[in-house]
Amino acid sequence: MKRRDFLTASAVAGVATVCGAPRAAADQAGGGNGMPKLTPPEKPAELNLCLQWGAIPGGEIKEKLDFLEANGFTAVEIPSGDWPIKNCDAMIEAMKGRKLFLATACGPSDFSYAEPEKREAEVQKFLPVLEALGKMKSVGLIICPARGKLSEPGRLSAKELRKDFVENTGKRLAEHAHKHGTSIVLEPLRRNETPFLRQVADGARIAADIGPGATVMGDFWHMGLEETSFMGAFICGGKLLTHVHIAGLKERIIPGVHRDADNYVDGFKGLKLIGYRGAVSFEGGWPKNPEDPKKGLPQEEKIRLIRNMATMLREQWAMA
Ligand code: MG
């Protein structure tokens, strides 16, 4: 799928695709026995494996992209901050002619400050980042609207934050993103990381309320604690789901190390049901070096684990 089709499908999906729609469609179509029947996706889902920038072996941009292609990865995730601005032209050049698409840019963000000036500074910081991402044909900028405790002084309440994010900060970023051909991608986190956005369905609802340019993602690591069903959560994301993070389910390290715990088949079934064609991107750490825990793993071992993960995820995708 062309990235442009992917974004358009995601952005125009809007309110009707969130949660309730499949059930309504199924009832109209006479689902039978009162059970919902999902509408099959127009195009079948595909597994696009992806790595975050820091996890890709190699130093230079070209070297990293070469590694991804040589190992069957089809997407790449870059850092946020000013990285996309600084490396925009070099990335455009390096991506030419490759079988890779630029998924998301990932980095910290916070829109929960009580002082409007601080929230405004956060918006102003990301506007040029979105322009660079649009130029690079990236799927979008990952945004976590709030971290920490909203009960602390200097923070908006959850109710105030939702209103301000939907009508002001998030809305303006999404509109700017949409204008430049990209999106903001809301990431639900764990309860110890944020009190605000913890479930994919809620993120999809917020994205739908914001409108074009706003989408949602799911991170298997956070979802493991916050969702009752991986499959159900992804179905709730529907066409607004534009990105997925993946890590081990027992430990937030590369999948496949604790093989018994790392079962993504249920989640992949959900992704197949919604015709997901975005990236599934590894975000997490590495197991400790058994020889010296302080030293980290040698590069050859990391490469072995990356290939091991890719093989395992392809097998589980086939099973889903
Ligand atoms: Mg994540």
pTM: 0.89
CB 234 within 8 A of CB 225: no
Q: How far apart are CA 117 and CA 94, in angstroms?
A: 38
In the chain, the amino acid numbered 196 is: F
Distance between Cα 165 and ligand 1 center (Å): 20
Distance between Cα 36 and ligand 1 center (Å): 30
CB 69 within 8 A of CB 98: yes
Distance between Cα 282 and ligand 1 center (Å): 9
Residue 4 predicted with pLDDT over 80 = no
DSSP-assigned states of every residue in 145-204: ---S-TTSTTB--HHHHHHHIIIIIHHHHHHHHHHTT--EEE----TTT-SS---HHHHH
Q: What is the four-CA torsion angle of 17, 185, 308, 295, rounded to 10 degrees? A: -160
Three-class SS of residue 267?
helix
Distance between Cα 187 and ligand 1 center (Å): 7
Q: How far apart are CA 241 and CA 18, in angstroms?
A: 10
Burial of 80 (0-12, 13-18, 19+ CB in 10 A): buried
Distance between Cα 251 and ligand 1 center (Å): 14
DSSP-assigned states of every residue in 211-262: -TTEEEEEEHHHHHHH-S-HHHHHHHHGGGEEEEEE--SSSSB-TTTTTTT-
Nearest CA to 116 out of 194, 169, 176 is that of: 169
Distance between Cα 27 and ligand 1 center (Å): 35
Distance between Cα 107 and ligand 1 center (Å): 10
Distance between Cα 184 and ligand 1 center (Å): 14
Distance between Cα 76 and ligand 1 center (Å): 14
- Least reliable range by pLDDT among 2-16, 38-52, 301-315: 2-16
Distance between Cα 219 and ligand 1 center (Å): 5
DSSP letter assigned to residue 282:
E
Distance between Cα 312 and ligand 1 center (Å): 20
Q: How far apart are CA 174 and CA 7, in angstroms?
A: 13
Mean pLDDT for the stretch of residues 140-151: 91
Mean pLDDT for the stretch of residues 48-62: 97
Q: What is the pLDDT of residues 103-134, one digit of tens each?
A: 999 989 999 999 999 999 999 999 999 999 99
Phi and psi based region of residue 65 (left: phi greater than 0; alpha: psi -120 to 50; beta: remaining): alpha
Give 148's pLDDT tier (boundaries 50, 70, 90).
Answer: confident
Mean pLDDT for the stretch of residues 56-78: 97
Domains of the chain: 1-39 (no CATH), 45-319 (3.20.20.150)
Distance between Cα 26 and ligand 1 center (Å): 32
DSSP letter assigned to residue 266:
H
Phi and psi based region of residue 33 (left: phi greater than 0; alpha: psi -120 to 50; beta: remaining): left
Specify which residues 280 forms β-bridges with. Answer: 49, 244
Distance between Cα 24 and ligand 1 center (Å): 31
Distance between Cα 218 and ligand 1 center (Å): 8
Give 17's pLDDT tier (boundaries 50, 70, 90).
Answer: very low
Q: What is the pLDDT of residues 192-240, one digit of tens each?
A: 999 899 999 999 999 999 999 999 999 999 999 999 999 999 999 999 9
Distance between Cα 221 and ligand 1 center (Å): 7
| CA angle centred on 232, ends 231 and 237, rounded to 5° | 95
Residue 18 predicted with pLDDT over 60 = no
pLDDT at residue 3, rounded to an integer? 57
Report phi then psi at 79, rounded to 5. -70, 160
User: What mean pLDDT value characterizes the chain?
Assistant: 91
Distance between Cα 30 and ligand 1 center (Å): 38
Distance between Cα 37 and ligand 1 center (Å): 30
Q: How many other β-carbons are positioned within 10 Å of the β-carbon of residue 180?
A: 17
Distance between Cα 118 and ligand 1 center (Å): 24
Distance between Cα 35 and ligand 1 center (Å): 33
Distance between Cα 141 and ligand 1 center (Å): 12
